Amino acid sequence: MTLEDHCGDVIGKARRSAGVSIESAARAANLSVREFDDLEQTGRASKQPDFKGLGNLLQLHGVKLQQVAEGWLPQPIDLSRWQSLRQITTSGSNFTVNAYMVWDAVTRETALFDTGFSAEPIFSLIEEEHLQPSHLFITHSHHDHIEALGPIRRRFPEIRLHSSSNGAPSDQRNQTGQIIRVGGMSVSNRPTPGHAEDGVTYLINGFPGGVPSVAVVGDAIFAGSIGGARELADLAKRAIREHIFSLPAETLICPGHGPVTTVSEETAHNPFFV
């Protein structure tokens, strides 16, 4: 398991959002400009940075940042506890993206969450498990998340799309308080803009076996980081606090990149939250 963002990525995102120069950040970290640049590029430093001083300057939690630098990972989660949930990871030019699928074990009614780069693994799973896809929920319209939309809609023309994009036809646009049934489960939406204007988190309740609810968050939050949001980082963090961290601690967080995590892991360890 590796995090989507190493500590240098976290520092770079926070530094650009705060509009801080490399020189100022290097000074706060008690590093030379070259040492600091290395840290941002690789996540490693040849000498111990002052994470507390750097965190204070960049609105990062110094101790949590140091833990990420020292190899923190969320506790591994056995996804087979959610018997009818799958993470589908596909590769683009030089990175991977996660899509998710959820179905009702009895009726086989199925919801897709994003498409990833390729429809093939989705089609294979649908055939293996005899699934009936009826809904496709889009977390945000960045290309890596919707690349396989065309082939999926051609194969399943009846599939109902859901998105928060202003460009979406009104019958596909998420409404506040809307609840979509997927067999015995229900899917509601929560606005989590910042990384993307149409960023939305889908909360899935009602899994059999009493396992925790699942939040499919797109790129709003990653294990130990957040999706790049530049000058909208404050908006992004506010939405995460309001609409993700307010969920029960055991809620499973399914991000668009990197490993799955939980609300309790991120409130305790995500350096963007001080």
Query: Binding residues for Zn ion, per CB under 5 A?
Result: 142, 219
Q: How far is the CB of 57 from Zn ion (least distance, A)?
A: 26
Comparison of 200 and 203: residue with beta carbon closer to Zn ion: 200
Comparison of 135 and 142: residue with beta carbon closer to Zn ion: 142
In this structure, what token pair is assigned to residue 268? 């305790």
Dihedral sign for Cα 181, 176, 163, 191, please. negative
Q: How far is the CB of 225 from Zn ion (least distance, A)?
A: 13
Q: How far is the CB of 140 from Zn ion (least distance, A)?
A: 6
Q: Is 229 helix (H, G, I), strand (E, B) or coil?
A: coil
Q: How far is the CB of 46 from Zn ion (least distance, A)?
A: 33
Residue with smallest beta-carbon separation from Zn ion: 142
Among residues 49, 52, 106, 67, which one has the least CA distance to residue 83? 106
Comparison of 157 and 167: residue with beta carbon closer to Zn ion: 167
Residue with tokens 């939040």: 215
Question: Rounded to an integer, what distance in angstroms lies between the CA atom of residue 121 and that of residue 258?
Answer: 18
Among residues 18, 73, 14, 82, which one has the least CA distance to residue 268? 73
Comparison of 135 and 140: residue with beta carbon closer to Zn ion: 140
Q: How far is the CB of 211 from Zn ion (least distance, A)?
A: 27
Helix (H) or strand (E) holding 237: helix 233-243
Comparison of 110 and 139: residue with beta carbon closer to Zn ion: 139
Helix (H) or strand (E) holding 198: none
Q: How far is the CB of 142 from Zn ion (least distance, A)?
A: 3
Comparison of 198 and 219: residue with beta carbon closer to Zn ion: 219
Comparison of 61 and 257: residue with beta carbon closer to Zn ion: 257
How far is C-alpha 239 from the geometric centre of its chain's CA atoms?
13
Question: Rounded to an integer, what distance in angstroms lies between the CA atom of residue 92 and that of residue 73?
Answer: 24
Residue 98 forms beta bridges with which residues? 89
Q: How far is the CB of 37 from Zn ion (least distance, A)?
A: 25
Q: Is 10 helix (H, G, I), strand (E, B) or coil?
A: helix
Q: How far is the CB of 162 from Zn ion (least distance, A)?
A: 17
Q: Are 256 and 217 in contact (CB under 8 A)?
A: yes
Comparison of 96 and 205: residue with beta carbon closer to Zn ion: 96
Count CB atoms within 10 A of the CB of residue 170.
Answer: 6
Among residues 29, 81, 86, 89, which one has the least CA distance to residue 57? 29
